[in-house]
Amino acid sequence: MKTIAFLLHNNFEQAEYEEVNNKLKDKGYKTLLITTNKDKEVQAMQQDVDKGDTFTADIFAREANVEDYDALVLPGGTVNADTIRGNEEAHRIINAINDAGKPLAAICHAPWVLINTGIAKGKTLTSYQSLQTDLENAGANYVDKTVQIDGNLISSRNPDDIGNFADAIDKALS
């Protein structure tokens, strides 16, 4: 059974974790939640404004062994993505997944992280609309599409794209 890891901090967009996670579990994948937070209890948000549910991470980022995962998903949420993009442990995991050529999927604000890790440069990506200039300034080619695939990178714009996003992750692992 293939394992898909989700990496997040706090104040992530609930749908981009929970719905994607559920869809991938329904397709037969084992999933795991990794956090860079100091506590395993992580707070979800609804549309970046209202508190959502809390979830319990399986492991801390410092304990993560990327050889155990077949793909990595980065949920969005403005505060979550902004925190992750400055986190060294997150960068270690993301770069190792990318270097191994494993599917690396980022939705909404999560492609911000791909800028800070250097992965975005020269790639064609989509994201939440407000990241277009940031991605272009980082040397990426921005497209406004439900799902954009560039090599092992899978990106999507927002929670409306979750179905297609999960299907693209599944297809990349098939």
Q: Which residues are catalytic?
A: 108-109
**End-to-end CA separation in angstroms for the chain:** 12
The DSSP secondary structure of 119-145, one letter per residue, reads: -STT-EE---GGGHHHHHHTTPEE---
Torsion of CA 135, 79, 87, 145, to 10 degrees: -30
Tokens 């100091």 — which residue?
A: 38
Specify which residues 82 forms β-bridges with: none
* Beta carbons within 8 Å of 174's beta carbon, 6+ residues apart: none
